[in-house]
């Protein structure tokens, strides 16, 4: 039999016990199960009690970077107890509990007496999905959030728009998706976005959207005239466009209004602002941009122009009381960053040294560089993901504390709903364990045994 | 004017004309797959020599039909005369490294038909598991399958595959790979595999099929008698690849046999002995055979109508192998550049597309001996959860 009581969270998160009942017993609650004929008369576990200790358990709120995900699980006859400070820990503990229950050959459900004290090593454990290179239907995103919960991931980094398409249906600027999405069917409406955020919340997963600028913005130009820089060939515009135009006031008026919407639609304390791979060629070709460079005294150092733009955007977003995450170039090109900026290190070459530099400057960092899971190759590549040690870089203890976690990235150039799940999983599970478990959990043979079981469980 | 419908008279039927009846038969290597498709206003005609050509033409026809923004189905006037360059266009699935449920195999056959593939090379058993339910030797799958209840192909399953394939003009060529790749055969056929030795004592592990026992050849005869009846295609794939000699070398009885036969230390001669006897058995069952390239490389005497399957990408460039095989007068099948299980990042379809199977030094008669090729999806990292997006 089984029953789960959630002490303080009757409304919002009571779905978790119901959901986990289904995972454990393979059928819906609250059917009473009967002991199958011929089953042994063992000590019975009648109930799993879930106790959330904090005065504000967090059931009605959103998870955040500082949330407590620790839990204590005691499995003993006749009542097992799952204790956590906050509901987020209870969710992690429920996942663990569901993994401990197994079925014998007679159809009985068994669980071993256990005492588990668990908490994550890193607070930011994310998965990046890219819905611009290929649109991902809502179902793919939701299924992926389930898979993330099975692996205790707690951040969905939604790289929602990019050069190729703009599927985000903006309320203030409907033309962006009207003109920029692949088709009217390939969009995320405000309802879709709300659904994703709530589905994630119920699994203790933060949704951090990324609106990457000033590069990676070709699709924005379709629905927003004069946002992008016109490229020139000599005196004449070529007809093609480059990054966001950093010299026009209209650009910043647009961004102010646009991010007002974004910061209210997405409840997380952080927004990812991108800032990677800005190609300077178009700016260099544009006479007005060149004139602006002169006026500002930037000479021919276009990194200064990029930083000028980025800083203005950061200020806009800060004014809405959001923190921001940026790709490493923003730091590398010496923009002025607030002290609570998170820098995402993605360039594979010498990433350990980048981690040193970022943390030496007192900024927090998340690591993605060794975990680009879209880079498929033949064989057991999960091993190389598992073997990454994020704190293996030259630096003081204080610096190491500034690594708040990492992300497995599944860029979408060759990914859509037809292949997302088998491409991402169970390889991403290796990253999930690396980010949750202790530094000394590194044995590949042991991990292999558990990973094969875990994969079958996820199926 | 704007109000006129852009399309002409609606077409109401496609007439299919087949010169030689044969709907109840099985496709073969010699089947004609040519067809003519004529789409004219008021007349749609698909004509072919055989029903197999008609199937190819139907696939083409289905690809020509478009749909406009109003939902109208349309087809452009067109005249097509089409036939395949190579008669053997195959796909290999491996159901031993991971079991593939019936629906995965049937789905693959559908997609093969969309791509005009006409051979399903069923690499059905291997070291890790033996899912084929044999009526002569039921213990083989009972002991050798991953799960004898859930991870097997019953006689009915096999017939389902063969018929499903036939209806799509696809031949099913089954492969029972020996003498290597046979670990899973051991538990259900005690005495079949060679016991390996550690010094004077058996180590407890086993190697390839034991080539020196009469019981081996009796077993092989009985098994292939069954297989020859179950699978209607003229060809069987007999494997013969990657035979590891270490175990044979360690076994004292085998070493004694080598002495007796005057083979010295050349274990390829022992391998040849086995293969030759196997080929004789298969011939006596009136079947033709395909073998992996090692059988040719190790100079086994094979029948002139043997097809050699070229798969090694290194150390010899596979084109050299194709030249050598055809120079010796054997027909060749190419798979070496088409191991689709070897995934890599990016548009690797381009490398597969750019392969020119006849890019080797040889006279036209040699080139004529290349009957086609096969894309291979080995199963070490493949099961039903990822087969389709990995293969297509």
For the stretch A398-407, pLDDT in tens is 999 999 999 9
Q: What is the pTM of this model?
A: 0.94
The parent domain of residue A263 ranges over 124-458
Specify the pLDDT at position B317.
Answer: 85
What residue of A is the nearest CA neighbor of B391?
A: A419
Region of A317 please: left (phi>0), alpha (psi -120 to 50) or beta. Answer: alpha
Question: Phi and psi at residue A211, in whole multiples of 5°?
Answer: -110, 95
Q: Give the confidence band of A18 by pLDDT, cuts at 50, 70, 90.
A: confident
**Angle value at C-alpha A172, between A169 and A173, nearest 5 degrees:** 60
Domain contains A37: no
Closest CA to A152 of A435, A404, A387: A435
Residues with Cβ < 8 Å from B186, sequence gap 6 or more?
B144, B192, B193, B206
Which value does ipTM take for this structure?
A: 0.93
| Claim to verify: residue A63 and residue A211 sit in the same structural domain | no
**Cα separation values, A9 from A17, A198, B277, Å:** 11, 16, 74
- Residue A60: pLDDT band (50, 70, 90) is confident
Q: Yes or no: say if B54 and B46 are a contact pair by the CB < 8 Å rule.
A: yes
Tokens standing for A385? 């993901």
Write the CB contacts of A391 (distance below 8 Å, at least 6 apart in sequence). Answer: A400, A403, A439
Q: How far is CA A57 from the centre of its chain?
A: 23
Q: How far is CA A14 from the centre of its chain?
A: 24
> What pLDDT sits at residue A4?
42
Interface residue B17 vs chain A (CB under 8 A):
no
Residues of A in contact with B107 (CB under 8 A): none
Total of domains in chain A: 2
**More confident site: A394 or A15:** A394
Which pLDDT belongs to residue B21?
Answer: 85
Is A38 inside a domain boundary?
A: no
Q: Do A279 and A251 sit in the same domain of this protein?
A: yes
Residues A74 and A145 in one domain: no
Coil, strand or helix at B292: strand
**Quick one: tokens of A386?**
């598992």
CB distance from B345 to chain A under 8 Å? Answer: yes
Of A118, A137, A165, which residue is a domain's last?
A118
Instruction: Assess whether A208 and A319 both reside in one domain.
Output: yes
Q: Please work out, in degrees rounded to the nearest 5, the angle formed at the alpha carbon of residue B338 by the alpha carbons of B337 and B344.
A: 90
Mean pLDDT of A255-273: 98
For residues A111 and A165, state if they share a domain. no
pLDDT at residue B53, as a whole number:
98
Spell out the domain ranges in chain B.
Answer: 15-82, 88-391
- Residue B300 CA to its chain's centroid (Å): 21
Whether the bond into A214 is cis, omega within 30 of 0: yes
- In this structure, the answer to whether residues A176 and A315 fall within a common structural domain is yes
Structure letter (DSSP) for residue B339: B
Same domain, A59 and A143: no
Residue B114 vs residue A339, higher pLDDT: B114
Same domain, A14 and A97: yes
Antiparallel, parallel or unpaired: β A403-410 and A102-103: unpaired
In-domain check, residue A108: yes
The pLDDT of residue B4: 54
Largest CA distance in chain A: 88
Both A396 and A373 in one domain: the answer is: yes
Amino acid A6: pLDDT: 39
What pLDDT was estimated at residue B170? 98
Q: Point out the domain boundary residue: A118, A151, A167.
A: A118
Report the alpha-carbon distance of residue A239 to residue A361 in Å, rounded.
41
Averaged pLDDT for residues A370-377: 98
The answer to whether A418 contacts B385, with C-beta atoms less than 8 Å apart, is: no
B385–A459 CB contact, under 8 Å: yes
Residues of B in contact with A375 (CB under 8 A): 345
CA dihedral A306, A308, A311, A316 (to 10 degrees): -110
B389 and A419 within 8 Å at the Cβ level: the answer is yes
Of B41, B163, B242, B320, catalytic? B242
Instruction: Give the mean pLDDT of chain B.
Output: 95
Predicted pLDDT at B9: 77
Of A85, A118, A151, the domain-final residue: A118
Could you say which of B345, B385, B389 has the minimum Cβ distance to residue A377? Answer: B345
User: Average model confidence (pLDDT) for chain A?
Assistant: 93
Are A329 and A403 within one domain? yes
A378 within some domain: yes
The parts of chain B modelled with pLDDT lower than 70 are 1-6, 315-316
Q: What are phi and psi of A327, to 5 degrees?
A: -70, 160
Which one of A42, A77, A277, A389 is the catalytic residue?
A277
Over residues A153-183, the pLDDT tens digits come to 999 999 999 999 999 999 999 999 999 999 9
E strand or H helix that includes residue B244: none
Residues of B in contact with A419 (CB under 8 A): 386, 389-390
Q: Does B342 sit within 8 Å of A378, measured CB to CB?
A: yes
The H or E element spanning position A291 is helix A287-296
Q: A375–B345: do the CB atoms touch at under 8 Å?
A: yes
Is-contact A148 A204, C-beta < 8 A? no
For residue A375, give the CATH number of its domain. 3.20.20.80
User: Is A253 in the active site?
Assistant: no
For residues A171 and A151, state if they share a domain: yes
Q: Is the pLDDT of residue A54 over 90?
A: no
pLDDT of res. A2 = 38
Domain co-membership, A178 together with A265: yes
* CATH classification (class only), B15-82: alpha beta
The enclosing domain of A68 has a CATH number of: 3.30.379.10
User: Cβ–Cβ of B346/A377 closer than 8 Å?
Assistant: no
Cβ atoms of A15 and A87 within 8 Å: the answer is no
The string of DSSP letters for A373-437 reads TTS-BSS-THHHHHT--TT-SS--HHHHTTEEEEEEEE-STT--TTTHHHHHTTHHHHHHHHHHS
Q: Which fold has domain B88-391?
A: TIM Barrel (3.20.20)
CA distance to A45, A55, A375, per residue, from A17 (Å)? 16, 21, 37
Q: pLDDT (tens digit, 9 = 90+) per residue, A67-90?
A: 999 999 999 988 999 999 999 999
> ∠ at Cα A387 (A383, A390), nearest 5°?
140
């Amino acid at each position: 039999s089984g029953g789960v009581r959630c002490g303080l969270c009757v409304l919002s998160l009571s779905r978790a016990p119901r959901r986990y009942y289904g995972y454990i017993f393979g059928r819906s609650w609250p059917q009473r199960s009967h002991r199958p004929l011929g089953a042994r008369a063992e000590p019975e576990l009648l109930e799993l009690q879930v106790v959330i200790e904090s005065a504000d358990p967090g059931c009605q709120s959103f998870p955040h970077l500082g949330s407590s995900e620790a839990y204590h699980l005691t499995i003993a006859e006749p009542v097992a107890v799952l204790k956590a400070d906050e509901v987020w820990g209870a969710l992690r503990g429920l996942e663990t509990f569901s993994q401990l229950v197994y079925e014998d050959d007679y159809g009985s459900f068994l669980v071993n007496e256990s005492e588990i004290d668990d908490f994550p090593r890193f607070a930011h454990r994310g998965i990046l999905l890219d819905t611009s290179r290929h649109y991902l239907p809502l179902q793919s995103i939701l299924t992926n959030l389930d898979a993330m919960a099975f692996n205790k991931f707690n951040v969905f980094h939604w790289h929602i728009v990019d050069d190729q398409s703009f599927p985000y249906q903006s309320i203030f600027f409907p033309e962006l998706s009207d003109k920029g999405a692949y088709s009217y069917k390939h969009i995320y409406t405000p309802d879709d976005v709300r659904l994703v955020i709530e589905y994630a919340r119920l699994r203790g997963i933060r949704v951090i959207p990324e609106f990457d600028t000033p590069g990676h913005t070709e699709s924005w130009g379709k629905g927003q005239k004069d946002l992008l820089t016109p490229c020139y060939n000599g005196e004449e515009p070529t007809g093609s466009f480059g990054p966001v135009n950093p010299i026009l006031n209209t650009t910043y008026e647009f961004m102010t209004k646009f991010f007002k919407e974004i910061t209210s639609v997405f409840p997380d304390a952080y927004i990812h602002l991108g800032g990677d791979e800005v190609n300077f060629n178009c700016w260099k070709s544009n006479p007005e941009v060149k004139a602006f460079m002169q006026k500002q005294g930037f000479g021919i150092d276009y990194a200064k122009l990029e930083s000028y733009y980025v800083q203005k955007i950061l200020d806009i977003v800060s004014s809405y009381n959001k923190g921001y995450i940026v790709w490493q170039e923003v730091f590398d090109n010496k923009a002025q960053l607030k002290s609570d900026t998170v820098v995402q290190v993605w360039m594979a070459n010498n990433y350990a040294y980048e981690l040193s530099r970022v943390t030496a400057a007192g900024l927090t960092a998340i690591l993605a560089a060794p975990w680009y899971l879209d880079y498929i190759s033949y064989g057991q590549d999960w091993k190389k993901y598992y073997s990454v040690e994020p704190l293996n870089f030259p630096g003081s203890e204080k610096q190491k504390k500034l690594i708040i976690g990492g992300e497995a990235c599944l860029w979408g150039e060759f990914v859509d709903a037809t292949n997302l799940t088998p491409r991402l999983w169970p390889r991403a599970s290796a990253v999930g364990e690396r980010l949750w478990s202790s530094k000394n959990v590194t044995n590949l043979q042991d991990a292999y045994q558990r990973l094969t079981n875990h994969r079958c469980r996820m199926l | 004017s704007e109000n006129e419908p852009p399309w002409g008279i609606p077409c109401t039927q496609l007439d299919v004309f087949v010169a030689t009846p044969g709907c109840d038969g099985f496709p073969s290597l010699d089947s004609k797959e040519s067809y003519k498709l004529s789409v004219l206003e008021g007349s749609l005609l698909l004509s072919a020599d055989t029903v197999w050509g008609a199937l190819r033409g139907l696939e083409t026809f289905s690809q020509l039909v478009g749909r406009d923004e109003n939902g109208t189905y349309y087809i452009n006037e067109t005249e097509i005369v089409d036939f395949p360059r190579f008669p053997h266009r195959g796909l290999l699935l491996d159901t031993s490294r991971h079991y593939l449920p019936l629906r995965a195999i049937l789905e693959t056959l559908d997609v093969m038909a969309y791509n005009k593939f006409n051979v399903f090379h069923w690499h059905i058993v291997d070291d890790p598991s033996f899912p084929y339910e044999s009526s002569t030797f039921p213990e083989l799958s009972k002991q050798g399958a991953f799960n004898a209840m859930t991870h097997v192909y019953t006689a009915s399953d096999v017939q389902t595959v063969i018929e499903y394939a036939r209806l799509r003009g696809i031949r099913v060529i089954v492969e029972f790979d020996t003498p290597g790749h046979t670990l899973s055969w051991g538990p259900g056929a005690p005495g079949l595999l060679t016991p390996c030795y550690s010094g004077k004592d058996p180590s407890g592990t086993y190697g390839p099929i034991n080539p020196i026992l009469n019981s081996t050849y009796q077993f092989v005869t009985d098994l292939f008698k069954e297989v020859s009846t179950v699978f209607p295609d003229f060809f069987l794939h007999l494997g013969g690849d990657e035979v590891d000699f270490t175990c044979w070398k360690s076994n004292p009885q085998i070493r004694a046999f080598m002495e007796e036969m005057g083979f010295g230390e050349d274990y390829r001669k022992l391998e040849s002995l086995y293969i030759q006897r196997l080929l004789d058995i298969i011939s006596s069952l009136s079947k033709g055979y395909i073998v992996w390239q090692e059988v040719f490389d190790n100079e086994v005497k094979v029948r002139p109508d043997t097809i050699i399957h070229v798969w090694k990408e290194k150390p010899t460039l596979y084109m050299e192998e194709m030249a050598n095989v055809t120079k010796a007068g054997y027909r060749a099948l190419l798979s070496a550049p088409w191991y689709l299980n070897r995934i890599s990042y990016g548009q690797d379809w381009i490398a597969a597309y750019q392969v020119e199977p006849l890019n080797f030094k040889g006279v036209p008669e040699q080139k004529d001996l290349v009957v086609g090729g096969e894309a291979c999806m080995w199963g070490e990292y493949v099961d039903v959860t990822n087969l389709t997006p990995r293969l297509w």
